[in-house]
């Protein structure tokens, strides 16, 4: 009798375990094999990944020529052009015949960054009638009104003087770097890690100067890389005056 009862108890226990295991399998199957739930999870992960990628600063790889739109406000030669056989772009000072003439290589899609670097030269002059005639390489967060936050290098063509500059919140600050230098250099500006209202400037890896614009946060904004020349009058010759920029990089 004890053997029969014991056998019956064992059979009941095994049956219960088998039923419980089968139920668990069905429950797990329902949770893991539901295509709608998997699709929703994948979509959510993709959304999160996409959102995070937009907030990541550029990796430091040079921007290709194809990332830039080349334009001019007056269709008179010389015009901006890609320098064949390199990743560089040349932006000449625009020709006469239109009064003012702006020319540019403007990055089509910006990236979140805190600085920029390029190799190149500012082949300017000192014969322009005033300092409104200029050339510059910089990053900007507003490429429509051009009145937002900017940092970079600008050369006035009335005195062939290159300056570091920052712009933002209605302010514009500069510091003279050199005069009469047509040579090729590595130019870099970087937001200070400990003070996001300060931008540090370097030439050929050597620290030059820091500019501060209190109250403006330059750190990891959505910036566009730009090289441009501005002619504001017809009354002077700009032959041979141009920017060359290579290995355009943001950080």
- Please name the CATH architecture into which domain 65-250 falls: Sandwich (2.60)
- Residue written as token pair 């990628």: 53
Domain ranges of the chain: 2-54, 65-250
- Residue 240 CB contacts under 8 Å (≥ 6 apart), including other chains: 123, 125
Is it true that the peptide bond before 78 is cis, omega within 30 degrees of 0? yes
pTM: 0.77
- What is the chain's pLDDT, residue by residue, as a tens digit (251 residues)? 333 333 434 344 444 444 434 443 433 333 333 333 333 333 333 332 333 332 334 457 899 999 999 999 999 899 999 999 999 999 999 988 888 899 999 999 999 999 999 999 999 999 999 999 999 999 999 999 999 999 999 999 999 999 999 999 999 999 999 999 999 999 999 999 999 999 999 999 999 999 999 999 999 999 999 999 999 988 899 999 999 999 999 99
């Amino acid at each position: 009798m004890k053997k029969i009862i014991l056998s019956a108890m064992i059979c009941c226990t095994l049956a219960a375990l088998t039923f419980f295991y089968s139920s668990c399998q069905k429950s797990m199957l329902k949770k893991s094999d539901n295509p709608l739930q998997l699709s929703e999870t994948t979509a959510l992960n993709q959304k999160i990944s996409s959102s995070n990628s937009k907030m990541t600063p550029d990796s430091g790889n040079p921007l290709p020529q194809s990332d830039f739109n080349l334009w001019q406000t007056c269709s008179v030669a010389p015009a901006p052009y890609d320098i064949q056989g390199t990743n560089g772009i040349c932006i000449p000072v625009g020709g006469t015949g239109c009064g003012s003439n702006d020319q540019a290589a403007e990055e089509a899609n910006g990236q979140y960054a805190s600085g920029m670097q390029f190799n190149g030269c500012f082949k300017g002059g000192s014969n322009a009638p005033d300092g409104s005639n200029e050339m510059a390489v910089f990053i900007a967060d507003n490429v429509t009104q051009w009145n937002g936050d900017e940092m970079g290098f600008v050369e006035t063509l009335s005195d062939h003087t290159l300056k570091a500059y920052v712009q933002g919140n209605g302010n514009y600050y500069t510091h003279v770097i050199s005069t009469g230098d047509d040579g090729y250099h590595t130019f870099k500006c970087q937001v200070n890690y400990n003070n996001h209202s300060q931008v540090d400037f370097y030439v050929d890896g050597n620290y030059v100067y820091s500019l501060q614009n209190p109250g403006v946060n330059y750190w990891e904004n959505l910036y566009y890389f730009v090289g441009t020349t501005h002619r504001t009058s017809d009354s002077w010759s700009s032959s041979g005056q141009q920017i060359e920029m290579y290995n355009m990089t943001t950080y």
